[in-house]
Structures are given as structure tokens and as C-alpha cells.
Amino acid sequence: MKILVFHGSAGNFGDTAMLEGVVLNLLRNFPSVELFVAHRPGLRTTVWERVQVRRQAIPWLTFPSESALAGKRYFWRHHQWWWETTRKSYALLLGRVVSAKTIRVTGVPEANLADFCAKFDALHMVGGGYLTDTFPELLVEASCLALAFHEQGKPILLTGQQVGPFQSRPLRAHTRRILNCARFVGLREPNRSVELCQQLGLDPERFRVMGDDSFGLPRADDREVRACLSNRGLEPGRFLALNVRVGPYAAGHREYMGLIAQLADALSSALCLPVVLVPIAFNDLDSDDRSGATLISLMKQAQASRIDSRDLTPALVRGLLGKAFGAIGVSYHFCTFALSQGIPAVSLHQGDYYSQKASGICGFWQDRRLAIPLPRCDISSAAAHISSLFQDINWRKNMVHRAENAIHGWQTIFDEQVQNGFKPTHFTGSDVNEHACAGKTVQSAKYVQMTSR
């Protein structure tokens, strides 16, 4: 069995944690499987050490007549407009009249997308926040892969996904294609993602809230975590973890850097604890290392330090956040890593993309106190709010049990769905086409039985 593993991870410990969690659990369920994992620039992961895992280049896609359109005088004069608007939805415009055979590919030996996908038996889309028009190129890529696997009657599973937000109707329709081609869609949050799946017409029996795919990745060994803290003069349970993100999709956070620095100073003073900047993203465009250094320079009172991303792995980051007294940050996975170990975390957010993440955190963990909108943040009231949460002993005790249940729930749903969705009988091509749907109601009694377990 050969499974193509698609994901959105590059230089990001959260995305990589989801990828590693999925790979580890696919291998546990199918010890003899071959996993072809999408290889992207900036991806740092240990999955390549597994003998069953292969690096797989994801091809660049060229759609019919695209080069001719791009070369015309109008599009040449408005090249940026063409790139940012027309090309994003071009595959969708052709989706009803062309097949994967007409989408040319470069960067791989095959000539078209259909031939590229023909060598795999199934497609697993690792969780993340890429089913949104915030990342249009990645969304188009995922949509075209789903089209190709659907045309070939091969199973597609999605786990740990956030769906949305959307401003573009064509790109929202791209997402509808992906969801309707999938045998199962696992969601990581119960709020807006569930609403969008309902609005996009997905059969209620084919999607469930399962939590984040990073739940499948164990934290680093306790000795490694303690050594990392000790080397920096830190003690377990005696520091505040902080994270901030500024990038093309998080540009609005820049204007709140001073406010976040003041909040960190206030919390450090109130709780008598040092502050440690913990990075999640380390790409050039959205480097938490860079934004962390900027934030430290703005702090006036707190004893603050920074751990460089070069010294970290996804498992180690998760382990470090499990030793914090509390966490305050922008990154979704920064907060999720802490909460999934019973450590209180508060999501600071601004803009539609991060507001949906913050809402999802509150919804999944069933506590509205876990998010603060930056545009309405008052330093003194926010510091009092966070301090109260961090010192709530009963909340901590309950959260440990909730975190254990959440991880167990993810594991149970993952195992059920991959065992049913990737059955060997699904790879014969004989009876799969009636299930993979492109928007039609599923008629197979066997399929309904599988998804309603």
C-alpha cells in the first residue's frame, strides 16, 4: 500500500508536529505501508529516518491555456493581479470540463497530474489551517490532488483540519471539492469549521471533531526537556512561555507588539516569574525568532530570554510548554501544545484568520477565557484575567483529565477512520467510485456503516 501524505508544513514546529503525529500513527496502524511524504523547503523532521517513509516532491501545476493567458498583453501589464487572483481560481474554472490528465506538471518525472497520482493508492491530508484563502496556492494544490485521486477512485482522508476563513468564493468552492471527495474529514475545532462543513453541504456522517493532529506526537523525553531548561537557568513550573507572530498573514500583530510587551511585563511582575520566548514558526517571512527578539527589546521590567528555533524540535517544544507555569501567545500550536498537557494558555488574536483559531481553541477546550482579542485588550484587566486563570488550581486539575481524554479521543477516531478508509479492498478500483463523491449523496450502505461508527 502506497499512501501520499500531503501537508502544509515548512518551517513551523506546529505543522511539523501534526505531520509527525500522523506519520507515526499511520505506521502503527499499517506497519508494511509505504508513505510518500510531501517534501517542502524548510521542512525539518525526523520522519525521513523511518525506512517506510519516502521524500516526495509535489509537482508544480500548469493548467490548460494558462501560459497563453499569462502571456497576453493585458495579463502581462497586470501580472501581479494575474498571479494573486486569476491563477488562484483557474483550476476551479476548468474543474467541470477538464480532468487531472490535462493538468501538466513539472518537477517530477510524470507529464500530467493523473500520471503522478496513479502511482499511489490513497491520499492522506494532514491537518492544519490551509483550507482557507489565506494560503491560496496551497489550497489549489490540495484541490487538484483531491480531483485526481477522486477521478481514479482512490480513498482520500483528512484529519485534524481547520476549514476557513474565506473571503474568496472561488477558493471556498475549491474547498468544497476537497471535502466532497473525501471519505472522512476530521476537524480540529467545533465552531466555524463545523459551520462551514454544513454550509458547504458535507454529509454530517462524514465529518467529526477529533482535535489536532499534533495529539499524535509524544513530547520529548523528560530528561531532554529538563536539560534544555537547566541550560538556560530555568526551572520546571517556574516560567511563563510567550509567543508572538508577525508575517504576511499576520501583519496586524505588528502594531500590538508594544501592548504585548507591556502585558508580559505586567504578568511577570504579578506572578514573579521570568518570561521565555518560545518560537513555533521559523521561516524568513514569519520568523518567531525575529519577532521574539523584537518583543524582548520592548520589555521594560520582565526578566526575559529567548530559545532559538535551531535548538528545538516539535517534540521538544511540546515538552517545554508542558513545563511552563502558563503560556500566552499568538500561535495556535503554541497554545495547543500547552493545553494538551494541562497547562493554561491564552490565545492573543487579531484578524479573521487568527480569530478563528482563537475561537476554535475556546470551543474545543470549552472555556471562553482562553482567548483575548488584541484590539480590545486593556493591559491591567488582561493581566488580572490571565493571572487569575493561571492560579486556578481546580482548573488545572480538571484540565489534565480533559487533555488526556482529548488525546485519547483523537487516537480512537484516527484509528477507526484509517482502518476503515484505507482497507486493502479500497485499492482495487472496483467499488470505490460510488463512494468518492464530488458533491453527490453517498448511496453505499457499507460506506454509511463505516462513517457512522
Would 399 be classed as within a structural domain? no
The set of long-range contacts for 405-409, using a CB threshold of 8 Å and a minimum separation of 24, is 406/211, 406/215, 406/340, 406/364, 406/365, 407/211, 407/215, 407/340, 409/210, 409/211
Q: Can you give the pTM of this predicted structure?
A: 0.90
Nearest Cα residue to 17 out of 159, 186, 215: 215
Whether residue 195 sits in one domain with residue 140: yes
Q: What is the pLDDT along the chain (453 residues), one digit of tens a residue?
A: 999 999 999 899 999 999 999 999 999 999 999 999 999 988 999 999 999 999 999 999 887 766 555 554 444 444 555 555 555 565 555 555 568 998 899 999 999 999 999 999 999 999 999 999 899 889 989 999 999 999 999 999 999 999 999 998 888 988 998 999 999 999 999 999 999 999 999 999 999 999 999 999 999 999 999 999 999 999 999 999 999 999 999 999 999 999 999 999 999 999 999 999 999 999 999 999 999 999 999 999 999 999 999 999 999 999 999 999 999 999 999 999 999 999 999 999 999 999 999 999 999 999 999 999 999 999 999 999 999 999 999 999 999 999 999 999 999 999 999 999 998 655 544 333 333 333 333 323 232 222 333
Identify the residue whose cell numbers are 473525501.
182
- Whether 435 is in a domain gets the answer yes
Judge if 187 and 279 occupy the same domain: no
268 and 390 in contact (C-beta within 8 Å)?
no
Residues 378 and 270 in one domain: yes
- Are residues 287 and 184 both part of a single domain? no
Domain count, the chain: 2
Position 95 scores a pLDDT of: 54
Q: Are residues 126 and 226 in the same domain?
A: no
What pLDDT score does 168 carry?
82
Residues 199 and 245 in one domain: no
Burial class (CB in 10 A: 0-12, 13-18, 19+), 328: buried
Q: How far is 229 from 260, CA to CA, in rounded Å?
A: 24
Preceding amide of 248 cis, omega within 30: no
Q: Does residue 275 belong to any structural domain of this protein?
A: yes
pLDDT at 97: 52
Rg (CA), the chain: 22
In this structure, is residue 25 part of a structural domain? yes
Where among 391, 416, 435 does a domain terminate? 391
Q: What is the pLDDT of residue 449?
A: 29
Domain boundary among 391, 424, 443: 391
Q: Do 302 and 276 meet the contact criterion of CB atoms below 8 Å apart? A: no
Using the 3D structure, point to which of 340, 356, 391 is the last residue of a domain.
391
Amino acid, single-letter form, for residue 121: D
**Residue listed under C-alpha cell 524548510:** 42
Residue 305 shares a structural domain with residue 345: yes
pLDDT of residue 429: 42
Cell representation of residue 292:
521574539
Check which CATH number belongs to the domain holding 45 and give it. 3.40.50.2000
Give yes or no: residues 242 and 337 share one domain: yes
Contacts of 115 (CB under 8 A, 6+ apart): 101
- The residue range of the domain holding 415 is 2-216+407-451
pLDDT of residue 293: 98
